[in-house]
Amino acid sequence: MSKYNIICNQYKNYIGKNSIDHLKQLVEINKVNNTSIPCILLGGTQLTGKSTLGKNLAKHYGGGHFYSVGGFFREAAQSIGLTIAEQSRLLRIVQENLDQNSVDDALKRLGGRRMDIEMDYKTCEIIAGGDKNSQQLYKYLVIEGRQPAIMGTLLESLGREDLIKIYVTCSARERAIRFISREIGEEYAQQADKYLSNNYKSDESLSSLTNEISKLPIPSIKSIAEAFQKNQNRDEDDRKRYIDLYGLDYEDISYYDICIDTTGNTAETNFKKATEYIDRYDFKNRINKNNM
């Protein structure tokens, strides 16, 4: 448990002193009652295709259900009149704790809530089997977000079994093309694919990539390039905040069973890669075993 001391202490301090015991009890109760159901946990940054993959996996084996942790964050942000980007920025201010006035103002705008800790603990409860509706209605769960795999490894240390942890990644160039497709349509994404060079394999060249995007012969491209830069900066801000918060890095692939690089691949190809691995895990039989 030493690797997870920081995250356990964060939960105990914010959620409650018995928060870890509660998770352990959920795991044990579901194991004894044979009500524990398998989970597929998808991690990775934005625009890698993990949401599409997750939704497809939730349909494939029959009786699955898809959760998006990002959806939890959006609902929480909307409930207090914030965008997801504003929420992320304010949480970063609180975590950095550089100026008490700024921290107090950020917490006030957040409604006094550490939504990052709340949503991660909610994810832990779902993985542990704390959502009775999920346990009764579904045969397996697919959970997608930044942190599910790390939450899963914490729960494995508490005795949780039948978890498959998948990391989804792709090149910075590919994420840029997907961002353009999402913002203004596939036609312009195809133009970007034609003009952008293939040198951008990682985030190290993100600023150069953004500069190249801004020169594409596409309407309103400068504002789109700026929006893409902010989008990717939020990914890195979130990553740094979680490292500061828990001492754990969700981009560390040692937390995952398999890494799927979606660069240049269709959704069908990515899905096939995932199911080929999952099928080796004998997933169908595990679902049936836990639902007999």
Among 24, 43, 66, which Cα is nearest to 239's?
A: 43
pLDDT greater than 60 at residue 283: yes
Do residues 253 and 238 make contact, with C-beta atoms less than 8 angstroms apart?
A: no
Q: Quick one: pLDDT at residue 292?
A: 54
Q: Quick one: pLDDT at residue 286?
A: 78
pLDDT band with cut points at 50, 70 and 90 for residue 85: confident
| Residue 69 domain-assigned (yes or no) | yes
- 143 and 161 co-located in one domain: yes
- 37 and 121 co-located in one domain: yes
How many structural domains are present in the chain?
2
Q: Quick one: pLDDT at residue 203?
A: 58
| Residue 26 domain-assigned (yes or no) | no
- 122 and 264 co-located in one domain: yes
- 118 and 183 co-located in one domain: no
- 40 and 132 co-located in one domain: yes
pLDDT band with cut points at 50, 70 and 90 for residue 128: very high
More confident residue, 220 or 232: 220
CA distance 180 to 199: 18
Q: Quick one: pLDDT at residue 201?
A: 64
Alpha helices in the chain (DSSP H): 5-14, 19-32, 50-60, 69-79, 84-96, 100-109, 115-128, 132-137, 148-156, 172-184, 186-195, 206-213, 221-246, 267-280, 283-289
User: Could you tell me the strand order of the sheet in which 64-68 lies?
Assistant: 64-68, 140-144, 39-43, 163-169, 258-261
Contacts of 33 (CB under 8 A, 6+ apart): none
Q: Quick one: pLDDT at residue 52?
A: 95
- 205 and 138 co-located in one domain: no
pLDDT band with cut points at 50, 70 and 90 for residue 135: low
pLDDT greater than 90 at residue 284: no
Q: Quick one: pLDDT at residue 20?
A: 97
Q: Quick one: pLDDT at residue 184?
A: 87
Average pLDDT rounded to a whole number, residues 252-272: 94
Domain containing 177 equals: 173-233
Q: Quick one: pLDDT at residue 200?
A: 65
10-24, 41-55, 157-171, 202-216: least confident range: 202-216
pLDDT greater than 60 at residue 204: no
- 78 and 195 co-located in one domain: no
pLDDT greater than 80 at residue 199: no
- 182 and 115 co-located in one domain: no
Radius of gyration, CA atoms only, the chain = 20
Do residues 167 and 256 make contact, with C-beta atoms less than 8 angstroms apart?
A: yes
Q: Quick one: pLDDT at residue 271?
A: 97
Q: Buried (b) or exposed (e) across 127-166, using 16+ Cβ within 10 A?
A: bbbbbeebbeebbbbbbbbbbbbbbbbbbeebebebbbbb
Average pLDDT rounded to a whole number, residues 145-159: 95
pTM of the prediction?
0.90
| Residue 148 domain-assigned (yes or no) | yes
| Residue 59 domain-assigned (yes or no) | yes
41-50, 111-120, 195-204: least confident range: 195-204
- 256 alpha-carbon distance from chain centroid: 13
**Neighbouring C-alpha atoms within 13 Å toward the C-beta of 45:** 25
Q: What percent of the chain has pLDDT over 70?
A: 94
Average pLDDT rounded to a whole number, residues 32-60: 93
Most confident range (mean pLDDT) of 72-81, 97-106, 156-165, 220-229 is 156-165
Query: What is the three-state SS of 253-275?
Result: HHHCCEEEECCCCCHHHHHHHHH
Tell me the CATH number at 72: 3.40.50
| Residue 54 domain-assigned (yes or no) | yes
Model confidence pLDDT, tens digit, residues 234-256? 888 888 889 999 999 999 999 99
What integer best gives the mean pLDDT of the chain? Answer: 89
Average pLDDT rounded to a whole number, residues 112-130: 94
CA distance 146 to 46: 9
- 86 and 35 co-located in one domain: yes
| Residue 123 domain-assigned (yes or no) | yes
Output the six-digit token pair for 176: 């840029």
Q: Rounded to 5 degrees, what are φ and ψ at 243?
A: -65, -45
